[in-house]
Amino acid sequence: MTLVYIHSENGLSKAAKEVVTYAKKLGDGVSVITNGNTAADVLTQLGEYGASSVMVDRSVSIEDHQQLLDLVVFAAEKTGATTIIFSHDLTAKAIAPRLSVRLNAGLVSGATDVPNESNAIRVNVFSGKAFGFVKVNSAQRIVSLLPNSIQPEITGSVCGVEEINSGAVTGRIKLITTKKPEGEIALPEAELVVSAGRGLKGPENWGMVEDLAKTLGAATACSRPVADIGWRPHHEHVGQTGVAIRPNLYIAAGISGAIQHLAGVNGSKVIVVINTDQEAPFFKAADYGVIGDAFEVLPKLTEAIRKFKAGQN
Amino acid sequence: MKILVCISKAPDTTSKIAFTSGNTSFDENGVQYIVNPYDEWYALVRALELKETLGGNVTIITVGNAVDESIMRKALAIGADDAVRIDAEPKDAYYTAMQIAAFAKNQSFDLVLVGKETINYNGSQVGGMIAEALELPFVSLASKLDVADNVITLEREIAGGVQVVEVSTPAVISCAKGMAEQRIPNMRGIMAARTRQLTVVPAVEIQELTSYVLYDLPVAKSACKMISPDNMDELVQLLHNEAKVI
Ligand SMILES: Cc1cc2nc3c(=O)[nH]c(=O)nc-3n(C[C@H](O)[C@H](O)[C@H](O)COP(=O)(O)OP(=O)(O)OC[C@H]3O[C@@H](n4cnc5c(N)ncnc54)[C@H](O)[C@@H]3O)c2cc1C
């Protein structure tokens, strides 16, 4: 049996469908354990992606990693799972390593594919500059799947949902406040990203980056110096020492494409580079390039997207 | 405050990444090693700042071979008080974490700090594993860290925002950007670090739960298609029809 942990506040995320699809591909039968407020008639749709049953414990909080760990341990024992799957997000980073020690089970974090013919799992190493293939030597294994690595696939029909009480105990970490900027798209999960660097000259010029992002429905990102000088918040910093992202589309304006920057974005499916300097190294990593001034190109691109979207409706 | 900072070596960010022995091991030829940036810039510097305001002692620990002592000296030059090396090849995150946990077990550290991930294996595993082995609370991806009266106040990253949390010492924290600023060691620190005594501890027996069996390099991108800055409609059409991303 393969056990999948998903969080399901406010419905089923794409990441949740991805991990269930991934588990289904392992071919062992799939049980899902979750918490959160999503109604049973929504959770039942996980069956379409391959789940044979879903267990939900409404009393466990997404914020309490200690409780979540207990919840997953409880479900692993109950199902006798030999593989436990997470989406490689912030929750997985907090609990999967603890679970590895608790169960004495090898952990593969950031998997980008199903196990190959010799049962090794591909992960990104050297900040995306290479792949590694990891084999698990223990009887049980834990895998966290990098978001956007596989596409959700509908292969079945709705499944049963069981309300459970795992008896998970409250952890020792006390939550004081949560600050979540409204309306912004979270960068790590974004499928479209518009990013800008020092070529934008100052924070007052980010309006055109935000306009393009809003028109596209994209998240915004930036290069490291831009976050370091405080033009943009730290959580937007992508690269080897910032967030690593792999959206479907990454648009980079006024970013030179230093090796450390590329390390965080080279998993993107398609890269568009806008730069005044035709020698900018970023063009070597790009699929589409525009040699030009971001101050002129960005508004024009925004306009073209707007026209395109209007034409589609 | 008694603080343990876990540091790892990592290839310099400009290193050429290549593999040898039939793609089964990293080619170290010509590679310069540095202290993993998250460990140095955030975990170590914040530990030193806490010591400077609250008093106490900062010990750095690494699992590695004698050749890795240069990164220990770098950490001492920046200001660490003691440096410990567990004498073993760090086989995987679990092996490394269990070695550190075995060392830390009876030492009553108030804080154990790790960087949020290494830039070579990017696993984000070691901190949580140490916490579980020591049965301590673990706060991952903290971007702020303060301590007063044995209560640690942290900001941690969550999906689309940040959260303020509190936990009593002792605890294990993984440190991310925002927590501190990089410190460049001065000449006096560098000279003093050269002759400092390094503690070497034998490894304990730990099983290898995972192994890296093979490496591979991504295929190079095909040539970039150039589009005139006056023809953004064409770019949009290509993104829609050819790349199929919008
Ligand atoms: C250990 C280490 C880790 C690092 N980690 C990271 C990391 O995680 N992420 C990261 O981003 N960097 C990182 N860096 C820094 C990296 O080396 C580069 O310095 C940085 O990415 C450069 O940022 P930039 O491209 O915004 O600025 P610049 O290098 O200054 O480039 C600006 C670009 O804008 C172009 N430009 C100027 N004006 C315009 C205009 N009007 N229109 C269009 N284009 C214009 C220029 O031609 C140039 O290419 C790291 C460095 C080190 C040493």
Q: Tell me: do A205 and A294 sit in the same domain.
A: yes
pLDDT at position B100 is 98
Confidence band (pLDDT; 50, 70, 90) for B196? very high
ipTM for the complex shown: 0.95
A240 lines ligand 1 (CB under 6 A): yes
Using a 6 Å cutoff on CB, does residue A276 contact ligand 1?
yes
Residue of A275, A284, A300 to mutate, ligand 1, most atoms within 8 A of C-beta:
A275
* pLDDT tens profile B151-182: 999 999 887 788 999 999 999 999 998 899 99
Chain A nearest-CA distance from B195, in A, is 31
Are both A159 and A212 inside the same structural domain? no
Question: Can you give the pLDDT at residue B148?
Answer: 97
A140 CB near ligand 1 (under 6 Å)? no
Q: Is the pLDDT of residue B141 over 90?
A: yes
pLDDT score of B52: 97
Residues 6+ apart with CB under 8 A from A44: A54, A158, A159, A160, A161
Which pLDDT belongs to residue B193? 96
Q: Does B105 touch chain A (CB under 8 A)?
A: no
Same domain? For A153 and A15 the reply is yes
Strand residues in B56-122 grouped as ranges (E):
57-64, 82-87, 111-115
Do A36 and A113 fall into the same domain?
Answer: yes
Under-50 pLDDT residues of chain A: none
Rounded to two decimals, the pTM is 0.93
Q: Check whether residue A153 and residue A194 sit in a common domain.
A: no
Predicted pLDDT of residue A178:
92
Which residues 6+ apart lie within 8 Å of B80 measured at CB? B5, B44, B47, B48, B58, B59, B60
CA distance B143 to chain A (A): 9
Residues A154-166: pLDDT tens digits?
A: 999 999 999 999 9
Q: Assign B221 a pLDDT band (cuts: 50, 70, 90).
A: confident
Domain limits, chain B: 2-217
Pick from A163, A178, A196: which residue ends a domain?
A163
Reported as a single tens digit per residue, the pLDDT across B8-55 is 999 999 999 999 999 999 999 999 999 999 999 999 999 999 999 999
**Percent of the residues in chain B that have a pLDDT greater than 70, as a whole number:** 100
Tell me yes or no: is domain B2-217 CATH 3.90.550.10.
no
| Residue B84, phi then psi, degrees to nearest 5 | -120, 135
Q: Are residues A205 and A151 in the same domain?
A: no
- Which residues from A are below 8 Å from B166, CB to CB? 173-174, 176
β strands within A139-230, DSSP E? 141-145, 160-163, 174-179, 192-196, 219-222
Query: Is residue A173 assigned to a domain?
Result: no
Residue B152 tokens read as 């640690």
Task: Please provide the average confidence, as pLDDT, over all residues in chain B.
Answer: 96
Q: Are strands B33-35 and B9-11 parallel, antiparallel or unpaired?
A: antiparallel
Range of the domain at A65: 2-163
Q: Has residue A304 been placed in a domain?
A: yes
In a domain, A59, yes or no: yes
Domain co-membership, A26 together with A85: yes
Residue A115 and residue A44 share a domain: yes
Q: How far is A218 from chain B (nearest CA, A)?
A: 11
How many domains would you assign to chain A?
A: 2
